[in-house]
Chain A
Amino acid sequence: MALDSKIPAGPLGEKWTKHKGEIPLVSPANKRLIDVIVVGTGLAGSSAAASLAEMGYNVKAFCFQDSPRRAHSIAAQGGINAAKNYQNDGDSVYRLFYDTIKGGDYRSREANVHRLAEVSRNIIDQCVAQGVPFARDYGGLLDNRSFGGVQVSRTFYAKGQTGQQLLLGAYSALNRQIAKGRVKMYARHEMQELVVVDGKARGIIAKNLVTGEFERHSAHAVLLCTGGYGNVFFLSTNAMGSNVTAAWKAHRKGAYMANPCFTQIHPTCIPVSGENQSKLTLMSESLRNDGRIWVPAKKEDAEAIRAGKLHPNDIAEENRDYYLERRYPAFGNLVPRDVASRAAKERCDAGYGVNKTGEAVYLDFAAAIMRYGEEEAHVKGVNNPSEAEIKALGERVVEAKYGNLFQMYEKITASNPYKEPMKIYPAVHYTMGGLWVDYNLMTTIPGCFALGEANFSDHGANRLGASALMQGLADGYFVAPYTVGEFLSKDIRTGKISTDSPEFEAAEQAVRERTEKFINNNGTKTVDHFHKRLGKIMWNEVGMARNEKGLKQAIADIQALREEFYADVRVLGSANGMNPELDKAGRVADLIELGELMAKDALERNESCGGHFREEYQSEEGEALRDDENFAFVSAWEFTGVPAEAKLHKEELTFENVELKTRSYK
């Protein structure tokens, strides 16, 4: 099947307005005849379900958590971008568009990204109207801060809990529709299979996680808003339950998976402390506004620190290597995430790491505390303040900005970041890849849409900070509710979709067989045992740096792991009733298959771009070497039975409005 991205004709800035005006409308009376399923209730899912219900469609929404409010969007910390130009620093829709294209290393679609930048402004207006309490300045107007990869202040925030506040806003909009009976909410339900009838997505098989029952749900369209697949690495900043199952089931039924190897490794996370660790915790990128990243300039100092013989505060200024400021003077500590992560890895690999595993660098607030302290002393009219006074004043300013993050750090590490620098290291955080979608956000299965992190569309090979929240809400509030019209307008005479069809029967049967196989397997090893091994393979060979040999090895290792998993996994209990181990087994089975496809995708992409760094393709200075001549395309993979033998379809990327340049932050 040839890929048709359905990008509207016309000048870039007019495409979306024109397209929106031309999408066939479904009359209010007919909307009542149309059912829509929304899977996942994060920013994309909640906002889409609420908006579609407001418009008049009958919506069923599903989440595996006990409440829609708990979806992992809740954990996003730093902020949400919007081209409001409230700071009058020269921001514009075009600049947000350009920064996003460049930040994504020229591997995203111009038209999609421009649309995202356009609607970004509506998102802020919408959220404020909903009562989202963004940070404000003393004049009562909205405050902004800067994020990596840009030179303007366009990030709106609510302390370090922006995701929480935005999600609770979308959750309140969803609640309003649930209360009206326009949305039927199914919490503690997980999608197990997509049902395709006559080539169109017409429903899902969902599992009631409390009773263990399988339920058939039909609809005229299915929206997958199920987030990313970072948990393929076992250790990531994702929630424990985050998984790829919904997207993977769609992939197996014909939806292409695009750029699966584009993974974002976030530079500022709390380093791994031990073998029994279950997840990694992010320290928001906003900290790089004020924190300076460094390692000791002398190897012997690093060794002494690792041995516990030297304290970082005792290292003199001239013996510190602020390597981001050194390598990238123009952007300094605010280079994009992929660049910052690789730079940290480079220093640690060279032997300058600062914790016992040798995999940590410092994020230091001492300079910022003094700077703010002096400012405060000035404002408060304190004459000749002592250093201790300045410090105390500065600490209060830093606390107001990042208090909850500092507290979170201290709880986890038992170290006080006001007094000594934080230790951080890169960790898996976000996946730019996902289900291939056209301009309408429809996958290659008609009627099956993918929104938010679950699709691939806007971030190219690297996502900029504070853009995930923007994309989730853009897709859910302002894009999908309109673009589904093109598909659904043909369904006004279809009538209710029956759940008694052979397709539903077969889908449910397949789910039952899979479940029973796990229960009756009588293996010897736990699900987590296999998940951890998968994670190690992925982190070592498909992580921050990749090469041909390692990727080939990873494919072989994952295939062997998959066989062993099915032969030897042990799941206790029964299929009737609540059984979280059983649910986890199903998720890990899909992550194993996905891991193999990620390695395949990384192997085929013979260039370095964004989060995908192939060791064979780098400059003498260790910077990524992109190959626009041969790889300016989206890799869309068609499932053929074995992930590593998936069929590649290329969507060529054409750039009519920006010039492809080497991404330089120097």
Chain B
Amino acid sequence: MQVFHSHTVDRVRSLLFGGRTRYGLIFTTVLYALLIAIGFVYLYPLLFMFITSMKSPTDLLNPLVQWVPTEFYTGNYVKAFRVLNYPNALVASILLSVAPSLLQTFVAALIGYGLARYRFWGRRLVLLLILATFIIPPQNTVIPQMLTYRDLGLLGSPLALILPAVFGQGYRSAIFILVFYQTFLSLPKVLEEAARIDGASDLRIFLTIAVPSALPAFVVSFIFSVVWYWNETFLTSIFLEGGVQTLPMQLSRFVQAYENLYPPGAVNIFDRINEAVKMSGTFLNILPLLVMYFVLQKWFVESVERTGIAGE
């Protein structure tokens, strides 16, 4: 009886506090409670945005309607869709984030490889300057660039964003160069040396041996690059002035665009701009990224873990 009793105590104890192979019940409960609480904090703005965007004008005015709209109302989305000029802005956003990202990723790999695999005078200085390009605020360089683009007639053209990317000076290029630098440093050199003895040229070695072995770094860089280019508005709003309009640019002048389409004096009170329409616009803005994120989510995180972005 005594033996049985202590056995049960042990089992309860191990259930509550965990043993060598698993966490206890108390720990697990606290862990999930915390994760759910923090997860809620993260999701709250999104949830708020989505619920508000589904509210009809009457629901907005009704103080009783907080989290559950009384009807399925999509009118806000119809308006926001028109105001954002959605199809055009979406295509522009996709082009203006994918094209520079592809170029930026490839060029960053090239530079990172050169820094990791070759010894030459000034290597450390270049690494330091790359870090500096990350730190220097954009407003310290953007005006002369803008004026030069204006003189060259490139203002408003996608080239204004693509050219810096080609030269390794794209949006946050420094991070990607350093990621590739780290990646190539940590990859073994044996294969490349063997190929060199066989007489392969440096560029060939880079393209056929180094690039395939650094695939996770390419995935991470490309995805982050797309996301950051998509969300970037400071540079795009200056360089694309009067030209192509991306989704975030359309969103930042949403009120003005709305009042052009639906003049406040001309439409009835329910069609005036309200927070529900604004939230619909915001949601439409992040929807493509959300879709991309949930499709690529696994890749996103696992590649980061494999590239060792953290640095040594």
Check if A and B associate.
no
> Which residues in B have some Cβ–Cβ distance to A below 8 Å?
none
> Which residues in A have some Cβ–Cβ distance to B below 8 Å?
none
